[in-house]
Amino acid sequence: MLLEVQNLRKAFGGIEAVRGVAFALDAGEILALIGPNGAGKSTCFNMLNGQIRPDQGSVKLDGRELVGLTPRAIWRLGVGRTFQITQTFGSMTVRENVQMALLSHARAIHDVWRFAGRLEADEADRLLGLVGMDDAAERPCGELAYGDLKRVELAVALANRPKLLLMDEPTAGMAPKERVALMRLTARIARDRRMGVLFTEHDMDVVFEHADRIMVLNRGALIAEGRPAEVRANDQVRQIYLGEGRLYHAEAAS
């Protein structure tokens, strides 16, 4: 198993944001974490990459305990993350953003950035080719359409060669066609590189179409886990999403 999470807990004052969450994720697998607003998804993610220290529990990547390590140390061990708000540097070009990430991975950033016009440029272009953005390498990121920016962000996250990629609502703010394209691209890369992907997402169409497995969090606890068809058929899950119509829409679409 690539990732093994056991009995993860976190309370904020009196609120038990995450209560005894346990799951495992295999290399190359795409796992979705869904749940209503406030269910504890972000808190889970933040515990996985070290931004929040759990009150209890264990997070193991390739058998190595991550709890207690800094976010940077966890990133170096191979846990990458993309955010809901894209975090590229707007004034830098597409290629420079990826070069920056590559140099950072090589620990070279402080010494060489000033002289680094060509450094890692080939690898940056290779990663941009992978996400279909090589033609835009010279453009400032600030000029890109949102969907293109998300693809550059994926290339930036891949520069670290993550074993596990955490994606916070990867398709938020995108047009439906772009959503499908980004998730297909993510799936292809996950399979090719044997990279595990854990993502949160409010769009149930994206979740049910693209996840290998789905976990449902409600009030801090996992209430269901399984293949999309199993989760869709789960009564408790249907109750939670009832009224919102989202699960049923996903059903009709698949």
Ligand X SMILES: Nc1ncnc2c1ncn2[C@@H]1O[C@H](COP(=O)(O)OP(=O)(O)OP(=O)(O)O)[C@@H](O)[C@H]1O
Chain residues binding ligand X by CB under 6 A are: 12, 15, 17, 35, 37-43
40 or 78: CB nearest ligand X: 40
Q: Cα separation of 248 and 229, whole Å?
A: 12
Q: How far is the CB of 111 from ligand X (least distance, A)?
A: 36
The three-point CA angle 12-18-19 to 5° equals 115
Q: How far is the CB of 53 from ligand X (least distance, A)?
A: 12
Q: How far is the CB of 11 from ligand X (least distance, A)?
A: 9
DSSP 108-129: -HHHHGGG-TTTTHHHHHHHHH
Q: How far is the CB of 42 from ligand X (least distance, A)?
A: 3
Evaluate whether 132 touches 154 at the Cβ level (below 8 Å).
no
Q: What is the 3-state secondary structure (H, E, C) of 172-200?
A: CCCCHHHHHHHHHHHHHHHHHHCCEEEEE
31 or 94: CB nearest ligand X: 31
Q: Is 25 helix (H, G, I), strand (E, B) or coil?
A: strand
16 or 26: CB nearest ligand X: 16
22 or 106: CB nearest ligand X: 22
- The CA-atom distances, in angstroms, between 206 and each of 7, 27, 144, 148, 211 are 28, 21, 23, 18, 8
Q: How far is the CB of 138 from ligand X (least distance, A)?
A: 36
44 or 156: CB nearest ligand X: 44
Tokens found for residue 207:
């979740």
Q: Cα separation of 83 and 188, whole Å?
A: 20
